[in-house]
Amino acid sequence: MPAVVAAAVVAAVVLPSGAAQAAPAGGRDQVRVPARYAQQRLDWQSCGGGSSLECAMMTVPRDWHHPDAGPDITVAVSRHRASDPALRRGVLMMAAGGPGASGLNRPEGFAKDEPAVGAAYDVVSFDQRGVGRSTHPVCQTDDELREFFAHDFRDRSPAAVQGVLDRSRELVRNCEARSGGLLPYLTTEQTVRDMDLFRSLLGAPKISYYGPSYATMVGAYYATLYPQRVERAVLDSNVGWSGSWEAFEKGQPKSFQRRFEQDFLPWLAQHDDVYHYGRTVAEVRARWEERRRALAEHPVTAGSAVIGPNQLDNGTIQALYNAAQGFPALASALVALEHGDDAGASGKALVGKVFGSYVSPEFLAEFFSVTCNDTAWNHDIGYWKRRSARDTAALPLLGARELAFSSVCAYWPTDAAPKVKVTGAGLPTTLMLNSTHDPATYYEAAVEDHRALRGSRLVTVTGGGDHGQYRNGNACVDGIVNTYLLTGEAPAHDTACAAGPLPVPAGAAAK
């Protein structure tokens, strides 16, 4: 990606102490914040719903590079004050993944799970622009989302392929028509400028940072634009922020297939005494494929959800993110599907839970806005038809939906959004975490990110494939991260932690 484009400079204003001002990026980027943003006061109130957090609404420009050119938007922010003021050492800012997930409520669970860190930091977060309580786009209704994921993404007949393209084009048209001109400004670069305003309004000269998944890109971009504002940073399960979204997403069919075939299928075969789904990987795979074919011909209704082949894929994909939470639930739901109407109320409820939900229209609107805006995409539909045909045949679990997702970005209106090239210049040691079989943020991309982020330390979780390493029950990882956050001490070199064992389902015989 090219270096960050020099931004327009607004009229100079007198800024209060600690007010937001962009740091030079490569000596070229200079953005000053108008007083109406820099001098606002956050009106902290209870977040409600029994939460211990405080929430506020922060006003930001729609476009940081032309703050007077359009209407303001709002970003919802939250905080959990350090539980021990005598130990307080600063602000730890969090962001959420996706793009499309909400970060607003995350400080509460973080401070509860890591009390030592919660005692030492004000833990703060936000719903990034485009998400949750913040100003957000509108792309689809619930019915339109269901139609987007209906049919069978593996069907490569001319009519089916054209149907996928028509639905992707219609999604883009609806996003443009329904979002009030917001779409071009839903980018990671705009988000990190919101973050720095938030930092300034907290009165914090520097922040420490923790971000998982897509939030690793948010953190890497923030650290690039504002290196002098970063004290410590932990990037957990890294998207390919050293390259483009297109390049990163091209690698996901392989990594999801790897997790499915090398981790889940052997685990299910190992526990045939519990699930009776097949004693070998070949038997389990054949049975899963048989069920998929059956659902293509005769979808199953579970509550309000209609379970077809794409829904089987959806549930399987989501289960691969975390073995302890996902593998047993997926296996039990597969068994319930086999039993059909004889599965009983609990079995049908599990089928609906595992296979009947995927992402919301709100999530997908932000996901496409950011991934299509952030970096350039190939707009040649013929290229995506050819590539997706190959990936559907060779890597079908995720490869089958490649055309639907990539064609959205191929149809997306182009925008000259500033790009950020991450180098690590001027940063303290940054901590990176990744497992070797992570399906979503695959290890190969993390290694490339690590090379790009000079001075970083990579903690590799070997023998595992969970997505999200910190606060995932791995004492080795948690110890390294907590020591770093509390003392600043990072490993002297790249290091490794062994993954924990895969889950043992209830009723499994001793092996």
Inform me whether the pLDDT recorded for 331 exceeds 90: yes
Domains in the chain, start-ordered, CATH in brackets? 55-136+185-244+422-498 (3.40.50.1820), 140-178+246-374+378-411 (no CATH)
- Cα 276–277–282 angle (5° rounding)? 135
| pLDDT band at residue 31 using 50, 70 and 90 as cut-offs | confident
Higher-confidence residue: 370 or 31?
A: 370
When pLDDT is averaged across residues 390-395 and rounded to a whole number, the result is 98
Distance, in Å, from the CA atom of 511 to the CA atom of 503, rounded to the nearest integer, reads: 13
pLDDT at site 21 = 39
Inform me whether the pLDDT recorded for 152 exceeds 50: yes
Distance, in Å, from the CA atom of 499 to the CA atom of 476, rounded to the nearest integer, reads: 9
Give pLDDT tens digits for 93-118: 999 999 999 999 999 999 999 999 99
What single letter denotes the amino acid at residue 448?
E
Please provide the distance, in angstroms rounded to a whole number, between the alpha carbons at the two ends of the chain.
50
Half-sphere exposure of 500 (CA within 13 A, CB side): 17
Inform me whether the pLDDT recorded for 3 exceeds 60: no
pLDDT at site 436 = 98
Residues 228/215, Cβ–Cβ less than 8 Å: no
As a residue count, the chain comes to 511
- Residue 126's DSSP bridge partners are 77
pLDDT at site 109 = 97
- DSSP state string for 422-461: ---TT----EEEEETT-SSS-HHHHHHHHHHSTT-EEEEE
Give pLDDT tens digits for 211-248: 999 999 999 999 999 999 999 999 999 999 999 999 99
Q: What is the dihedral of CA 174, 178, 181, 183, to 10 degrees?
A: -50
State the DSSP H helix or E strand holding residue 97, giving kind and residue range, or none if neither: none
| pLDDT band at residue 30 using 50, 70 and 90 as cut-offs | low
**What's the chain's Rg over C-alpha atoms?**
23
The bridge status of strand 45-46 relative to strand 54-61 is: antiparallel
Give pLDDT tens digits for 482-494: 999 999 999 999 9
- What is the 8-class DSSP label of residue 229? G
**pTM given for the model:** 0.93
